[in-house]
Amino acid sequence: MSEKLSIVLFSGTVDKLMAASIIASGAAAMQKEVTIFATFYGLFALRKGDWKQNRRISKDFEDYGAQFLQVLEAKKAPNWLETIQSAMDIGNVKVKACGLTMDLLSIKLEDLEPIVSEIVGVAHFIEEASDGQIIFL
């Protein structure tokens, strides 16, 4: 059985989405089984097309926000969604949606980016993540 890395994607800010996507890519390259559990604002960010207008930056680094976003654009860095897609191309990466957030906000699977494969509950996630590392972002 391969090693696992699970990411709880709670935040929906571009900086944290980028961090999650890059860690997922590295882990996929190093042959880990990667699960991204998107919940709360992380799930908001995965609503279809949301990435196009998402320019949110974590509050604690807000003063760097404009500069960070500007550099990403100027240097044509790939956006976080593309980075997750290429991680999926080269390795074993799954993105799962938190059932609670889906219910509270009446979001359906078809409202989300197609990289999200299924809706799961927290117990399923915990069970799947057991024996592996968990990162909370």
Partner 1 sequence: MEGVKITKESDARGSFCPGPLMEMIRLVRSANVGDVVAVISGDEGSKKDIPAWINKARYELIGMEEAAPGGTRIICRKNH
Return residues touching partner 1 (CB under 8 A): 22, 25-26, 29-31, 75-78, 83, 86-87, 89-90
Shortest CB 37 distance to partner 1, Å: 21
For partner 1, the closer of residues 89 and 118 by Cβ is: 89
For partner 1, the closer of residues 29 and 109 by Cβ is: 29
Shortest CB 122 distance to partner 1, Å: 29
Q: Name the phi and psi angles at 75, rounded to 5.
A: -90, 5
For partner 1, the closer of residues 23 and 97 by Cβ is: 23
Shortest CB 20 distance to partner 1, Å: 13
DSSP structure string for the chain: ---EEEEEE---SHHHHHHHHHHHHHHHHTT-EEEEEE-HHHHHTTBTTHHHH-----GGGHHHHHHHHHHHHHTTPPPHHHHHHHHHHHSEEEEEEEHHHHHHTT--GGGB-TTEEEEE-HHHHHHHHTTSEEEE-
For partner 1, the closer of residues 15 and 98 by Cβ is: 15
Shortest CB 48 distance to partner 1, Å: 24
